[in-house]
A and B are shown apart, each in its own frame.
Chain A
Amino acid sequence: GDSVTQMEGPVTLSEEAFLTINCTYTATGYPSLFWYVQYPGEGLQLLLKATKADDKGSNKGFEATYRKETTSFHLEKGSVQVSDSAVYFCALRIGGNQFYFGTGTSLTVIP
């Protein structure tokens, strides 16, 4: 069935380090892909999205490229800040209104 597999956490990085959070998916059709971020005590916020193969979503210095050949949508940021500390979720939308979420990856950035 359709699913999302996300890199296990937690991840701890020093400020200005490079970030990669891996996400791969399984889908029977052509999904749209999303990254969400959740700060403590809040709901999930959409970080970026990509709706077709080779699309690159970007926002706030974060990027992810929809790779159909490897069924991946890895999240990257070149230089993380303390304020990026949060939980990150990869998600896909398939078949109109079906959504699937990864298990979330907790990121802590230390000064």
Chain B
Amino acid sequence: EAGVTQSPTHLIKTRGQQATLRCSPISGHTSVYWYQQALGLGLQFLLWYDEGEERNRGNFPPRFSGRQFPNYSSELNVNALELEDSALYLCASSSPGTGNSPLHFGNGTRLTVT
């Protein structure tokens, strides 16, 4: 089966611009999660979508937003980019309902803000 795919692989933006990151989950997975991983640090939970709805949100400002489409793909939008938004953004998906399935991760989008 195809894994979680993310695009673009790399993204370079200028401070104040907007960035859009995209994610396609594994076929059959309805939940999509977004994480931020700054250099050398752990995962910071951003957003969780399931069946098109935002289910949970991490401790990030409102300029981080996203949505999930009817085909379960998702996009993450970051407005008014700041230098500290430079990080690896990871998308993950999981299958619905089963309590013991793991998250499956994509390879991430490396966002650089200059």
A interface residues, Cβ below 8 angstroms from B: 32, 34, 36, 41-46, 49, 51, 89, 91, 93, 96-99, 101-104
Contacts and interface: CB of A to CB of B under 8 A. Distances in A.
B105 A93 contact: no
Interface residues of B, number: 25
B90 interface: yes
A93 B42 contact: no
A44 B105 contact: yes
**4 nearest CB pairs, A to B:** A43-B105, A51-B100, A103-B42, A32-B100
A96 B100 contact: no
Given A32-B100, A34-B102, A46-B104, A97 B43 contact: no
A89 B10 CA distance: 24
25 contacts: A34-B103, A36-B105, A42-B107, A42-B108, A43-B107, A44-B92, A44-B105, A91-B103, A93-B100, A93-B101, A93-B102, A93-B103, A96-B97, A96-B99, A97-B55, A97-B94, A98-B56, A99-B33, A99-B94, A101-B42, A101-B43, A102-B42, A103-B42, A104-B41, A104-B43
